[in-house]
C-alpha cells in the first residue's frame, strides 16, 4: 500500500546526514473501494416513484359509450366550481342560489365533503347511495386546483365524481356572488 524509498547515497565521508525518505501512497485500492461502495448504493437505493392519479375517461367515439345519461338523485349531488386565485365555490345541486365560497384543505372543502357525505349516507342508507360530485373548473382555474380537488376526493373516499365544463349559469352565479361580496368578477 505504501512504500518508502530508500536511496543509497555515495559514501563521501564527512558528516553523515539523515536522508529524507520519500513516501508514495498507492491510491488504487481506495479508489476501487470507493467505486464499489458507490455502485452498491446506487444499485440498492430505491428512487422516488412517480405518483400518478388514475382517471378513467371514456372514449368519445366508442358506440357502447353512447348510452342514455345516468340518472342521479339531485339530493345526493354537489357541484364544485374551481376558480382562479385558488378560489373554490360549491353548492348543492338542487339549489345553485346557495353558492358558498370555501378553500382547499381540512377545514375547507374536505370538511364540507365529509359532512355532506355523512348526511347523504344517513338519509339514503349506506355507501352504495353515496354522494355524487360535479367538478367544474372555470377558465381561470389552474392545474394545481384540479389536482388539489382530486386529492380531496381520494382522501374523503368519494368514488363518484365527474369533470364537467361549466355552464353559463355557473359563470353567472359566480359573477353575482362576487359582485354581492364587492369583489371584481373572476370570469370577466
Mean pLDDT, the chain, integer: 78
**Model confidence over 109-126: pLDDT tens digits?**
888 888 888 888 887 776
Q: Is the alpha carbon torsion for 172, 175, 180, 181 positive or negative? A: positive
pLDDT at residue 187 greater than cutoff 60 = no
Average the pLDDT over each of 65-69, 92-96, 183-187 and give the range with the smallest value.
Answer: 183-187
**Model confidence over 150-182: pLDDT tens digits?**
888 888 888 888 888 888 888 888 888 878 876
Topology, domain 73-180: Nucleotidyltransferase; domain 5 (3.30.420)
- Closest by CA to 160, choosing from 33, 34, 72, is 72
**Domains of the chain, residue spans:** 73-180
pTM of the model: 0.62
CB under 8 Å to 136, separation ≥6 — which residues? 79, 80, 81, 82, 163, 164, 165, 166, 167, 170
Amino acid at each position: 500500500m505504501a512504500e518508502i524509498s530508500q536511496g543509497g547515497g555515495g559514501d563521501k565521508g564527512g558528516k553523515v546526514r539523515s536522508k529524507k525518505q520519500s513516501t508514495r501512497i498507492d491510491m488504487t485500492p481506495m479508489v476501487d473501494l470507493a467505486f464499489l461502495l458507490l455502485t452498491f448504493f446506487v444499485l440498492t437505493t430505491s428512487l422516488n416513484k412517480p405518483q400518478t392519479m388514475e382517471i378513467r375517461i371514456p372514449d368519445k367515439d366508442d358506440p357502447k359509450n353512447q348510452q342514455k345519461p345516468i340518472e342521479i338523485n339531485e339530493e345526493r349531488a354537489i357541484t364544485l366550481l374551481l376558480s382562479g386565485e385558488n378560489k373554490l365555490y360549491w353548492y348543492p345541486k338542487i339549489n345553485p342560489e346557495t353558492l358558498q365560497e370555501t378553500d382547499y384543505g381540512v377545514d375547507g372543502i374536505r370538511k364540507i365533503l365529509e359532512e355532506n357525505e355523512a348526511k347523504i349516507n344517513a338519509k339514503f342508507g349506506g355507501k352504495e347511495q353515496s354522494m355524487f360530485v360535479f367538478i367544474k373548473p372555470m377558465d381561470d382555474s389552474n392545474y394545481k386546483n384540479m389536482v388539489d380537488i382530486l386529492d380531496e376526493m381520494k382522501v374523503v373516499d368519494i368514488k363518484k365524481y365527474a369533470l364537467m365544463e361549466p355552464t353559463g349559469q355557473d359563470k353567472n352565479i359566480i359573477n353575482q356572488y362576487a359582485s354581492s361580496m364587492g369583489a371584481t368578477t373572476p370570469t370577466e
